[in-house]
Amino acid sequence: MLKNNDKNIKGQHLLNDLSIKQVIEVFDLMPDTKFWIKDLEGNFVHVNKYFLEHSGIRSLSNIIGYNDNHIAAAHIAEQFIVDDKKVIQGHVVNDRLEMNSIKNGKLSWFTTSKRALRNQSGEVVGTYGITRHLNKTSEVLSGLNAVQSPVEYIKNNYMNDICINELAGVAHLSVSALERRFKKYLAKTPKQFLNEIRLENARRLLVESNRSISDIANATGFSDHSYFSKQFKKMFDQLPSQFRESQITAQTSERKIP
């Protein structure tokens, strides 16, 4: 029988014999989980099979060297790019709950984690991460169902003046119970969630329309233009005008993957 020290040595030899390629290919075995590696410029170095399937891309060679602007809607790609820059600077993303579109165009729940990728010298050389599609995770779904009605109400009425008592009534809960559920299952307050939904829709309109910034602010529930700009910069690290200008530049320089 091998002693513990002998087992450790044997295990270390096995790890030394494994190639990085073999390790990352493990992610091809994970259904409903997207895995990717990017370089410092945000270009894809590797993605797993589910990532390709979810993105509608036929082969790995078709995505290597491209970035999020080539495969996602502009307002969504921008958030991925902002996230990557934060991760490179030392920020860590842990199981962040978010809504995104699936292949049929419908919205679904995902959870995302990201890390900086370092070489043997400890230098940051890129980023990597996973995004899990949660529709088949019963425990998470039960939690999401607990806030489903107020979440749907916010999604459909974000442009209106919504108060916390109104949301509590929709959920048939007290205000305190509603806030506890949002904090437990979404890690944010109802007000924070409403604000994020409004800002996400504002970001989409900045890309998809030529409406003025003040008009977009009003259309997404912000009656105060300066407050809208302040909240937008806080969430996306850019003022609305800067974001729109950056998207115009990106759209003229980038092309989608064929």
Give all domains of the chain, ordered by start, each with its CATH number.
4-133 (3.30.450.20), 138-253 (1.10.10.60)
SS3 at position 75: helix
Lowest mean pLDDT among 120-134, 141-155, 169-183, 198-212: 141-155
Q: Say what the pLDDT of residue 170 is.
A: 92
Distance, in Å, from the CA atom of 99 to the CA atom of 111, rounded to the nearest integer, reads 8
Distance, in Å, from the CA atom of 221 to the CA atom of 110, rounded to the nearest integer, reads 25
Q: Say what the pLDDT of residue 8 is.
A: 61
Q: How far is CA 45 from CA 17, 63, 65, 126, in A?
A: 22, 8, 7, 9
**pLDDT level of residue 151 (50, 70, 90 thresholds):** confident
Distance, in Å, from the CA atom of 47 to the CA atom of 3, rounded to the nearest integer, reads 39
Which DSSP symbol is given to 148? H
Question: What residues pair up with 98 in beta bridges, in sequence order?
Answer: 110
pLDDT higher than 60, residue 253: no
pLDDT tens-digit series, residues 184-225: 877 789 999 999 899 989 988 998 899 999 999 999 999 999
Query: Tokens standing for 183?
Result: 């904090």
Q: Say what the pLDDT of residue 13 is.
A: 55
Prediction pTM value? 0.62
Distance, in Å, from the CA atom of 229 to the CA atom of 48, rounded to the nearest integer, reads 37
Q: What is the mean pLDDT of the chain?
A: 83
pLDDT tens-digit series, residues 112-136: 899 999 988 999 999 999 998 766 5
pLDDT higher than 80, residue 99: no
Q: Say what the pLDDT of residue 138 is.
A: 44
